[in-house]
Homo-oligomer: A and B are copies of this chain.
Amino acid sequence: MEIVTRIARMRHLAPRLKQDRKKLALVPTMSALHEGHLSLIRRAQILADAVVVSIFFNPIHFQAGEEFDVPARDLARDAELMAKRGVDVLFAPSVDEIYPEDMLTYVTTDTLDCRLCGAQQPNYFRGVTTIVNKLINIVRPDYTLVGQKDAQQSIIIRRMVRDLSMDTEVFICPTHREPDGLVTSSRNALLSAEERQAATALYRGLQQAQKLVERNGVRDAETLIGAVRQVLDLEPLVRPEYIALVDMENLAPLTAIAEGGEGLLAVAAYVGQVRLTDNIILVGSTG
**CB atoms of A104 and B111 under 8 A apart:** yes
Judge if A45 is at the interface, Cβ distance under 8 Å.
Answer: no
| Interface positions of A from 138 to 186, Cβ below 8 Å from B | 138, 140, 159-160, 162-167
Judge if A31 is at the interface, Cβ distance under 8 Å.
Answer: no
Contacts of A102 on B, CB cut-off 8 Å? 249-250
Judge if A112 is at the interface, Cβ distance under 8 Å.
Answer: yes
Contacts of A7 on B, CB cut-off 8 Å? 165
Query: How many residues on chain A are close to B (CB under 8 Å)?
Result: 31
Q: Is the interface of A mostly helix, strand, loop or mixed?
A: mixed
Which residue of B105, B165, B167 is within 8 Å of A109 (Cβ)? B105
**CB atoms of A162 and B100 under 8 A apart:** yes
**CB atoms of B108 and A163 under 8 A apart:** no
Which residue of B104, B106, B164 is within 8 Å of A134 (Cβ)? B164
| Interface positions of A from 190 to 228, Cβ below 8 Å from B | none
**CB atoms of B107 and A107 under 8 A apart:** yes
Contact digits for A102-137, partner B, Cβ 8 Å, 1 yes 0 no: 111111111110000000000000000110011001
Judge if A73 is at the interface, Cβ distance under 8 Å.
Answer: no
CB-nearest residue of chain B to A130: B164
CB-nearest residue of chain B to A133: B164
CA distance A285 to B110 in the complex (A): 46
Judge if A77 is at the interface, Cβ distance under 8 Å.
Answer: no
CA distance A140 to B164 in the complex (A): 13
CB-nearest residue of chain B to A11: B167
**CB atoms of A106 and B104 under 8 A apart:** no
Contacts of A167 on B, CB cut-off 8 Å? 11, 137-138, 140
**CB atoms of A108 and B106 under 8 A apart:** yes
Instruction: For residue A205, give the distance in angstroms from its CB to the closest CB of chain B.
Output: 30
CB-nearest residue of chain B to A98: B165
**CB atoms of A137 and B112 under 8 A apart:** no
**CB atoms of A163 and B105 under 8 A apart:** yes
**CB atoms of A105 and B164 under 8 A apart:** yes
CA distance A111 to B105 in the complex (A): 10
Q: In this complex, which of A105, A110, A111, A137 has the most chain B Cβ atoms within 10 angstroms of its Cβ?
A: A105
CA distance A135 to B190 in the complex (A): 45
CA distance A167 to B102 in the complex (A): 19
Contacts of A111 on B, CB cut-off 8 Å? 104
Instruction: For residue A7, give the distance in angstroms from its CB to the closest CB of chain B.
Output: 6
List the 3 shortest-distance A-B pairs measured between CB atoms, nearest first: A105-B163, A105-B160, A137-B165
Q: Which A residues form the contact surface with B (CB < 8 A)?
A: 7, 11, 100, 102-112, 129-130, 133-134, 137-138, 140, 159-160, 162-167, 249-250
Known: A105-B107, A130-B164. 10 other contacts (CB 8 A): A11-B165, A11-B167, A104-B111, A104-B250, A105-B159, A106-B110, A107-B107, A137-B166, A138-B165, A138-B167
